Amino acid sequence: MNKELNIITLDIPFPPNYGGAIDEFYTIKKLYDLGIKIYLHAFQYGERKPSKELEQYCTEVHYYERKRNLYDFFNKIPFIVKTRDHDLLLNNLLKNNAPILFEGIHTTYFLSDPALKGRLKIIRAHNIEQDYYKFLAKFEKNLLKKIYFFIESVKLKNYEINVIKNADSIAAISIGDMKRIKLWNENVELISSFHPFDNVESMIGKGKYALFHGNLDVSENKTAAEFLANKVFNDINIPFIIAGKCKKENNIKRHLVPNSNIQLLTNISDEKMNDLIRNAHLNVLYTTQSTGLKLKLIFSIFLGRFILVNNLMVENTDLAPLCEIANDEKEMKKKILNIFDDYFTDEMIEKRKKILNDLGYMNEQNVKKLLKMLQINE
């Protein structure tokens, strides 16, 4: 088979500044490095704009407007899928006979189209989307959004299972997701998220602060930041930084109890964020849901020193041996104080390298798995 591939992304994967875009962009970059001709099909909406950067790695880049109409809310097909129904996409896919990689359930509107019968079709599953939208509904405070997320989760329950059954195979992002998907399609492979790192870059020694980072416009991250600031770092004398994208900083600030040890940094550059992760003594990661794989965990492992998580953050990842684990504020306070008395050593870095390699979290391992699924020879 020729070394060429169609990739459909749910939005424009540059800049790679959030989980899905990071995985998509570094998948493209790694495939390009191996000489794969990539025909990229990206949906455009919101603030993300066409990117010259993508043209460096792709033979062709096609952009499609995501058409969001009110009546699509009432369609039996999930809104995240129906709004990516674009005839030009199907026409462009028919211009070659290359395999098709659908990045996310969002992009699968044409997967079962008769015109694509006989084509090799792989889904990259970033989450179990029905579970993710159910979680969003549970924690959303805005009533209209809560209703939308709930209805979408119901639609996804049927759609997701059927479309996965119709794919040739699935690239699951976590062990837990892989086990679940295997109930619907036995042809599933674990391929961890692609990322910017070729090796562990953690530094030995001690840092001076603890860090929580994430997109603070996402309810899960906002809830985590408030919990850590108000319940964990509220009465221990450890500098704590909360950092991440945030459209309305006051929406975070007004929920934080005033504390001179706590600093909020919003909308900083990717370079600054990586420096914060690298120089922290401790990266604290907390979540209330376990679907998918958290890229903040991957970044902290490859860049940071000590990592403190709750069980849900590392559930179905096998990465618990690289982290300290605590599940309530009392346990977290104790762990944090102990960690700040410790030094990060060369031995800890070597352990990190070995476990990441053994578990298949390195890009080189995962691109080989992906090429095998796509029936493309290196």
Query: Does 102 map to a domain?
Result: yes
Residue 292: the pLDDT is: 62
Contacts 24+ apart (CB under 8 A), 369-373: 369/171, 369/189, 369/190, 369/191, 370/27, 370/31, 370/171, 370/191, 371/31, 371/34, 371/36, 373/122, 373/169, 373/171, 373/189, 373/191
Query: Does 204 map to a domain?
Result: no
Q: Rounded to 5 degrees, what angle do the CA atoms 26, 28, 30 make?
A: 65
Q: Tell me the per-residue pLDDT of 303-357, one tens digit each, with 9 for 90 and over.
A: 999 999 999 999 888 899 999 999 999 999 999 999 999 999 999 999 999 999 9
Q: Supply the range of the domain harboring residue 170.
A: 4-196+362-373
Please name the amino acid found at residue 45: Y
Query: Does 202 map to a domain?
Result: no
CA atoms within 13 A on the CB side of 363: 22
Confidence of residue 258 (pLDDT cuts 50, 70, 90): confident
Tell me which of 1-10, 176-185, 230-239, 284-293 is least confident.
284-293
Q: Tell me the per-residue pLDDT of 355-369, one tens digit each, with 9 for 90 and over.
A: 999 999 999 999 999
Query: Does 203 map to a domain?
Result: no
Distance CA 7, CA 194 (A): 15
Q: Are residues 158 and 82 in the same domain?
A: yes
Confidence of residue 26 (pLDDT cuts 50, 70, 90): very high
Q: Are residues 157 and 47 in the same domain?
A: yes
Q: Tell me the per-residue pLDDT of 142-151, one tens digit each, with 9 for 90 and over.
A: 899 999 999 9
Q: 């960690």: which residue's tokens? A: 339
Q: Are residues 366 and 335 in the same domain?
A: no
Q: State yes or no: pLDDT of 65 exceeds 90.
A: yes
Average pLDDT over residues 275-285: 98
Q: Are residues 241 and 158 in the same domain?
A: no
Q: Are residues 367 and 354 in the same domain?
A: no
Q: Are residues 369 and 349 in the same domain?
A: no
Q: Tell me the per-residue pLDDT of 81-100, one tens digit each, with 9 for 90 and over.
A: 999 999 999 999 999 999 99
Q: Are residues 48 and 184 in the same domain?
A: yes
Per-residue burial over 98-112, b if 16 or more Cβ lie within 10 Å, else e, is: bbbbbbbbbbbbbbe
Number of domains in the chain: 2
Q: Tell me the per-residue pLDDT of 29-44, one tens digit each, with 9 for 90 and over.
A: 999 999 999 999 999 9
Residue (of 90, 96, 102, 91) closest to 3 by Cα position: 96
Residue 291: the pLDDT is: 66
Residue (of 69, 138, 89, 94) closest to 291 by Cα position: 138
Residue 255: the pLDDT is: 82
The CATH number assigned to the domain holding 120 equals 3.40.50.2000
Q: State yes or no: pLDDT of 173 exceeds 80.
A: yes
Higher pLDDT, 51 or 2: 51
Residue 251: the pLDDT is: 74
Q: Are residues 61 and 117 in the same domain?
A: yes
Q: Are residues 239 and 128 in the same domain?
A: no
Query: Does 205 map to a domain?
Result: no
Q: Are residues 89 and 218 in the same domain?
A: no
Global confidence as pTM:
0.91
Q: Are residues 235 and 328 in the same domain?
A: yes
Q: Are residues 165 and 188 in the same domain?
A: yes
Confidence of residue 220 (pLDDT cuts 50, 70, 90): confident
Query: Does 122 map to a domain?
Result: yes
Residue 242: the pLDDT is: 96
